[in-house]
Chain A
Amino acid sequence: MPSKIEQDAISGTDTTGHEWDGLKELNTPLPKWWLYTMYACIAWAIGMCVLYPSIPGLHSYWHGLLGYSTRVSAMAGWHEMQSMHAGAMAQIGKTPIEAVAKDPKLMETALQSGRITFANNCAPCHGTNGTGRAGYPALGDDVWLWGGKLADIETTITHGVRSADPDARQSMMPSFGTDNVLKPEQINQVADYVGAWWGVTQAGTDTTAGAKIFADNCAACHGAKGEGGRDFGAPPLNAHVHLYGGTQADIVAQVTHPRHGVMPNWNARLDPATIRSVALFVHSLGGGE
């Protein structure tokens, strides 16, 4: 409670009127520049509140006189980018994929578009930059289930693998174990034979029985020497790259009750030019043929 405001004799400034144990405090005014800067800031803040979205309501909010919205401005940027590349993308859509690959200008757009589309749509399964993981093929290596040429990749992406598209890549490996085509012992023998190709079979194991089983049951799709068959999406088996793992147990599991990967047909989601761009990007990861 200000009790007694008095003027200080020396400075000529009023005191605050408070007194604590005989101590009085000068009520020195704030520096003018400081005060006016603060007033200017208050005026600025009110101005911002009036012009921009600021005050929340129960069902809506104050939109501001300028009608600014971060969503609208982000979308405007997105549309601007789209229209910037519209010409090149239309050109990519009209040009055969091999011809696009030979055109550095179109390639610049295609690789950029492909990189972004891949990251948004493909990376969740195939990994960043096509790293791959168990069940989802790595895309940078030289193993291709359905072909590694530009046109092959484009077809695979367009129609998908075992997807709803009638033109999808289709194939089915028989369930040798669960359908009782092969006995567990035979499956072990063929696993020994296949595993020897990349050295997981113990040295000195007799693989003649396995070789016979392989020739009778597997070679039709996977090739006589396990070199793979792209017409059936049959992976090469004499390789160091394994879709479902490379241990003896992995082989046995796959032969007994095979898993089959599925990829959606992207023609339902992406336009042809974008699919072409993704195919070019995937091809450029290093495994393209």
Chain B
Amino acid sequence: MTDVAAVETIDLGRRYHTKWGLRDCSLSVPEGSITGLVGPNGAGKSTLLRLAAGLSRPTKGTVSIFGQIVRPNSTEHLRRLGYFDQLRPLYPGLRVDETLRLGEKLNQQWDNGAALELLNELEVPLTERVSRLSLGQQALVALSLCIGKRPDLLLLDEPVASLDPLARRQLLETLLATVAERGTTVFLSSHIISELEPVCDHLIILSSSAVRISGSTEELLADHRILVGPRGTPLRGVEVISVRDAERQSTLLVRGRPPDLDPAWRILQPDLDEVVLAYLSDRIAGDRSETSDSPASTRRSPS
């Protein structure tokens, strides 16, 4: 990996009329990584990916691909990236093999074998018209176009959304095998987090048009803990991300090293799903972490 990020945004924002689709977004996707972009519908995932692909003009800030600022209508960066859209803009009247031929004619470099591998593996009929394929199969045709380009960066907007579980698995396997050979950077959005966990080495969580947290999945897991203990006990030294209260017990997801806790508390290791859901849930425990005279933290010796 080099110092140049595959995707880097600085203070990036995009406004649609009066509403921000994405705002104050500064993040970087390391080269060679497989970075997941998660968040609820309307969080700004597609907006971010479209901006990175140069299909949409930033209202504010910049986005760069491999160190070069993306300018809408410039074709320079397009050679290096493959962009997969949820709307799958294909020619419905063309057959699958004709669609691939179009890909071959329209791109300077084209690997028909790589494109065919995905389609053959998932048994997409090559002589069928695109309009007669299922939505899932159309998604595969669109993805095979991206892969045939042999790009350095794949931007994939919900690539598995319309697929059944088996096809989803097969698509991920074939996609990963393809990128494993070339070290392709993949930046993909999804709301199926459990499936992304073993796939992504980096994760960016978006909600309400803003980045909540980003980092390597390993760091995210190492930085968070679940604390289960008596309800209403204030805590110090950690940032509380989410709280779920039962009658006498609270379950907190916190960021940071928990202080020496009262033995009444149990400390558990969350999985990625739980970390993501904590960030996406609205029930944030505002000032709970600020309270000072906490019984839980009195055991902590000042140092």
- Do the two chains belong together in a single complex? no
List residues of chain A with CB under 8 Å of any chain B CB: none
List residues of chain B with CB under 8 Å of any chain A CB: none
